[in-house]
Amino acid sequence: MSRTMRVLALSGSLRKASFNTGLLRAAVELAPEGMTIELGETRDLPHYDEDVRGAGMPASAARLRAEVERADAILVATPEYNYSLPGGLKNAIDWASRPPKQPFAGKALGIMGASGGVSGTMRAQYHLRQVAVYLDMHPVNKPEVFVRNAATLFDAEGRLVDAAAREAVRGLLEALAALSSKLRG
Ligand code: FNR
C-alpha cells in the first residue's frame, strides 16, 4: 500500500473568523483516505527582506520552508484582495521559495477560495496560478473551487455546512490526490 500523502494547507487570511481558513478546516474533515492535511502557520513571518535572509533565515521562515519540503502537495485557500492574492500569502510563498532547492518545485497545488461576494476569488486564484508557473508547481486545473456568498455557507461556529460547497472541496482534494500520485509516480 502506498504511504500517506502529506498535504500542507496555507490560508491567505489571518483573521480568526476567516471563511478561507474555514474551507481548510472543511478540507481536513473531507480528506480522502490516505491523505493528511496540516495547516501551516504564516502569522509570524516578517516581511521578506533579502538582507535578513542573507543574515540567516528567520526561524519562522525556516519552519515554513521545512513544512513545504516535507509536504507531498500544497493546498491553498485564499481570499481575493484588490483583485489579487493577499500580500501575506505572497510573502509566505516568497520566504519559502528561496534557493537552494526551491521546495515547491514539482509539487501538486490545489487552489480554492471564498469571498463574501459573487466572484469567489477567481482573479486571485488566477494570479496564484501565475506564481505557480515560476515555482514550477502543478496546479489542479479542474475542479476550480470558487466559493461565493460565503457568509451564507458557514454556520455560526465557522463550519462549512453548505452541501454543494463541501462537495466542491471534496472534489478538489480527490483531484489533488490523483495529480500528486501521478507526479510522484
Ligand atoms: C477585500 N475583499 C475583496 N473581495 C473580493 O471579492 N474582491 C476583492 O478584490 C476584494 N478586495 C479586498 C481587499 C482587502 C484589503 C480586503 C480586506 C478585503 C473582501 C474579502 O473577499 C472578504 O473580506 C473575505 O471574507 C476575506 O476572506 P476571509 O478573511 O473571510 O478568509
Q: Which atom of ligand 1 is nearest the CA belonging to 120? A: 6
**Ligand 1 centre and the CA of 79: distance in Å?**
6
Residue nearest to ligand 1 atom 13, measured at CA: 81
pLDDT band at 2 (very low <50, low <70, confident <90, very high): low
pLDDT for 76? 99
C-alpha 62 – ligand 1 centre gap (Å): 28
pLDDT band at 3 (very low <50, low <70, confident <90, very high): confident
Per-residue three-class SS string for 41-104: CCCCCCCCCHHHHHCCCCHHHHHHHHHHHHCCEEEEECCCECCECCHHHHHHHHHHCCCCCCCC
From residue 185, give the alpha-carbon distance in Å to each of 62, 72, 137, 180. 28, 12, 16, 9
- Entry pTM: 0.98
**Band (1; pLDDT cuts 50, 70, 90):** very low
On the question of pLDDT at 124 being above 80, the answer is yes
Mean residue pLDDT across the chain? 97
A 10 A CB-CB count for 7 gives: 25
